[in-house]
Structure 1
Amino acid sequence: MRVLEHPDVEEIRLEAVLHALSDPMRLEVVRFLATTENGAACSEIDLAVSKSTGTHHYRVLREAGVINQVYQGTSKINSLRRADLDELFPGLLDSVVSAATRRPRR
């Protein structure tokens, strides 16, 4: 089974999280994942970018510690690292999701 690298909780840095959240496509991923309980495959999240660009966005989110990705067959299942982010930066994720939900989608 292939395993993807994720930062440990103590390695998650605010500046990396804020950078990851600064892109509209990555915000769309976070907004979508905030509405799911069991995560979602990349193909379930409709991004208006090429597959390779989408892969880049998911990698930035994962390496910043915003999402968790695990292989399930040939799909990557994505979920928010809500507990970790809420512990490190209380209220940040809720504020970001709320703001992203209020803004018009592209």
Structure 2
Amino acid sequence: MATAATNVVYNQVFKKKIADAVRVGMGGGLCFCGINMYFKNEKFYDDWVMPLFKKMEPETAHVMAKKAAKYNLVPVSKLEESRLLTPPSSSSSACTCSAPIVGEALT
């Protein structure tokens, strides 16, 4: 009889330790995610967030992406826009050739 009672006690202690380990693990995971979202770590988004979005239904992923953008959880891109993509200023010498426009009748 004594062994049955001690087994019950050991099972309760074991269950409490497992529950505590799960709580600590989940708390650490939430802290990890929170810190990376706060500092807007692009590697975190590439390695963790984007694979999760790719596994979701498209509509659900879209709604979640809109909410993340609404609450400013999306990192700003650190890449600079190329100067080749900007339109030329009006003071620069533009091509003033008089070639006919495609589809225009030649006279």
Task: Using structure 2 for the length normalisation, give the TM-score.
Answer: 0.24
Higher helix share: 2
- Asked which structure has the greater RCO (Cα within 8 Å, sep 6+), the reply is 1
Larger of the two Rg values belongs to structure: 2
